[in-house]
Amino acid sequence: MSQAEYNRLRWSCRRGMRELDFWFLDFLDHHYSALTSEEQETFTRLLEYPDQTLFEWLMNTAQPTIPRLRQMIGKMQNVVQQDIMSC
């Protein structure tokens, strides 16, 4: 990924909710590069959804109907939980 592409993706991770900024920017900076190309595409697709929807998914008050999105949300939740436990 070029620096310009990374910068665009990073900009897309900046959301209207501080909580989402934390989730997405942290995941991008520390875990995105370890994803498969399919998972990277799924992560990028997540960014097309409204903030409220993403927040509900990450807080487990709703779930995506698309399995790939549901798996990516689960991966993001697990990674953040592991990061918190390691502090």
pTM summary value: 0.88
Alpha-carbon torsion angle 39, 34, 10, 44, nearest 10: 0
Q: Which domain holds residue 24?
A: 3-85
Residue 32: count other Cβ atoms within 10 Å of its Cβ.
Answer: 18
What pLDDT does residue 54 have? 97
Q: Per the structure block, which two tokens stand in for 10?
A: 């990073």
The predicted-structure confidence for 35-50, as pLDDT tens digits, reads as follows 999 999 999 999 999 9
User: Total structural domains in the chain?
Assistant: 1
CATH of the domain at 75: 1.10.150.250
